[in-house]
């Protein structure tokens, strides 16, 4: 803070400790601790408080979270473990989590790409940092069983979770079924499903829900080899280019993609192959990413409340951490079908 000479002192971090602050303010470290954590309710006199605060400011003292955490046995950060951070859908989940955490807890992310170290080991290591809690996206079944712990842990996107497990899920089924109904009403008879390789069980759920309902509605669903890579436009595009001839022969008039990004790839390839969407081919996805409203044609999709999911998960986690009874909010975030132009076609003369 002192301005000496011409230039402001750059805010160096001399790693001030509480005892350094203490001696500068001529008090004990205990007092410093009290002041630093704001527990001065009648335990520290007003002028001592300002003396200590001054010293803290002068020295740029920041309490050492490591020591603090060791002493109290608790911490102020939460780790979100996820296999794929870069998914735009996931960005919204993160936003929701941060909203719910507010300023009480810091959020740290850990990418645990499936493969690598078994997820379980990786989580174990993370736990060694003694976070206040853990949010685990798309947990493996093995992980969920093994982690029935006292640790505050919340799973998200874990359709396989036991009823008792602290998990927050998306109700993809509703949306997937609505989509099947929608396509059936449009008169489609043969529909294809373009899946993702990602192991996340949420994808398996989307597929199963759609395919089942499609059958029920009297359509012939075609399951397909999965797109090569993770959730990425390019892989879906190449995959679609490869299977389209066969699909065409099979009479496919609609393709449902596991995620909107895949659908973008399909739209582009369809365009370059001269396949008209939606007249010749209806295309749809899941997620309702921002671009889906802007694409040409705009994309019919199942909206998944990503942000809400994140918020609900974090709320639950905080409740767990603080020992409060879970808010018992709806454990299933509802999905919603958004009908746009990409399925606007009329096939077989149906409505």
Partner DNA sequence: ATCTGGACATTAACCGTTTAACCCAACCAC
Partner DNA sequence: GTGGTTGGGTTAAACGGTTAATGTCCAGAT
Taking residues 168 to 207 in sequence order and writing x for each that binds its own copies by CB under 8 A, - otherwise, the string is ----------------------------------------
For residues 84 and 94, is the Cβ–Cβ distance under 8 A? no
Closest alpha carbon to 286 in 236, 331, 246: 236
Q: What CA–CA distance (Å, rounded) separates 1 from 74?
A: 32
Question: Nearest approach, Cβ of 95 to its own copies (angstroms)?
Answer: 9
For residues 143 and 136, is the Cβ–Cβ distance under 8 A? yes
Q: What CA–CA distance (Å, rounded) separates 206 from 343?
A: 18
Query: Could you say which of its own copies, DNA, none residue 337 binds, taking C-beta under 5 to 8 angstroms by partner kind?
Result: none
DSSP state of 138: S
Question: Nearest approach, Cβ of 203 to its own copies (angstroms)?
Answer: 19
Region for 5 from its dihedrals, namely left if φ exceeds 0, alpha if ψ lies in -120 to 50, beta otherwise: left
Question: Nearest approach, Cβ of 252 to its own copies (angstroms)?
Answer: 21
Size of site (CB under 8 A) for its own copies: 63
For residues 301 and 287, is the Cβ–Cβ distance under 8 A? yes
Q: Is 44 in the site for DNA (CB under 7 A)?
A: yes
Please state at what angle helix 260-273 crosses helix 233-250, rounded to 10 degrees. 60
Among 14, 42, 218, 349, binds DNA (CB under 7 A): 42
Question: Nearest approach, Cβ of 336 to its own copies (angstroms)?
Answer: 19
**CB count, 10 Å around CB of 30?**
12
**CB count, 10 Å around CB of 242?**
12
Q: Per CB under 8 A, which of residues 274..313 are in contact with its own copies?
A: 290-291, 293-296
Q: What CA–CA distance (Å, rounded) separates 311 from 216?
A: 34
Q: Per CB under 8 A, which of residues 39..78 are in contact with its own copies?
A: 62-67, 69-70, 75, 77
Query: Could you say which of its own copies, DNA, none residue 18 binds, taking C-beta under 5 to 8 angstroms by partner kind?
Result: DNA
Q: What CA–CA distance (Å, rounded) separates 133 from 326?
A: 14
Q: Is 68 in the site for DNA (CB under 7 A)?
A: yes
| Contact residues for DNA, defined by CB under 7 A | 16-19, 26-31, 33-34, 36-37, 39, 42-48, 61, 63-64, 67-68, 70-73
| Contact residues for its own copies, defined by CB under 8 A | 10-13, 15, 62-67, 69-70, 75, 77, 79, 85-88, 90-91, 94, 98, 106-111, 120, 124-130, 145-151, 232-235, 237-238, 264-265, 268-269, 271-272, 290-291, 293-296
């Amino acid at each position: 803070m002192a301005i000496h000479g011409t230039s402001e002192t750059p805010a160096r971090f001399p790693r001030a400790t509480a005892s350094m602050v203490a001696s500068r303010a001529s008090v004990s470290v205990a007092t410093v601790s009290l002041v630093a954590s704001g527990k001065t309710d009648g335990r520290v006199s007003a002028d001592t408080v300002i003396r200590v605060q001054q010293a803290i400011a002068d020295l740029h003292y920041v309490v050492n979270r490591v020591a603090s955490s060791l002493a109290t046995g608790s911490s102020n950060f939460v780790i979100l473990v996820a296999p794929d951070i870069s998914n735009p859908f996931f960005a919204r989940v993160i936003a929701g989590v941060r909203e719910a955490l507010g300023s009480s807890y810091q959020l740290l992310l850990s990418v645990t790409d499936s493969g690598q170290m078994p997820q379980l080991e990786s989580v174990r290591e993370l736990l060694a940092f003694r976070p206040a809690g853990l949010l685990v996206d798309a947990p493996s079944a093995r992980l969920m069983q093994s982690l029935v712990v006292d640790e505050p842990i919340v799973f998200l996107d874990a359709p396989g979770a036991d009823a008792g497990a602290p998990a927050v899920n998306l109700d993809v089924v509703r949306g997937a079924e609505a989509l099947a109904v929608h396509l059936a009403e449009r008169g489609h008879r043969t529909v294809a499903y373009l899946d993702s390789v990602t192991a996340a069980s949420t994808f398996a759920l989307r597929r199963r829900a759609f395919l089942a309902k499609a059958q029920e509605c009297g359509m012939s669903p075609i399951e397909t080899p999965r797109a090569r890579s993770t959730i990425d436009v390019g892989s879906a595009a190449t995959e679609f280019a490869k299977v389209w001839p066969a699909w065409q022969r099979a009479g496919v008039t609609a393709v449902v993609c596991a995620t909107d990004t895949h659908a973008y790839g399909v739209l582009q390839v369809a365009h370059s192959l001269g396949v008209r969407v939606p007249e010749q081919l209806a295309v749809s996805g899941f997620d309702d990413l921002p671009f889906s409203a802007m694409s040409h044609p705009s994309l019919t999709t199942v909206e998944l409340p990503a942000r809400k999911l994140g918020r609900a998960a974090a709320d639950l986690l905080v409740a767990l951490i603080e020992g409060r009874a879970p808010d018992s909010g709806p454990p299933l975030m509802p999905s919603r079908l958004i009908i746009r132009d990409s399925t606007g076609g009329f096939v077989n003369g149906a409505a």
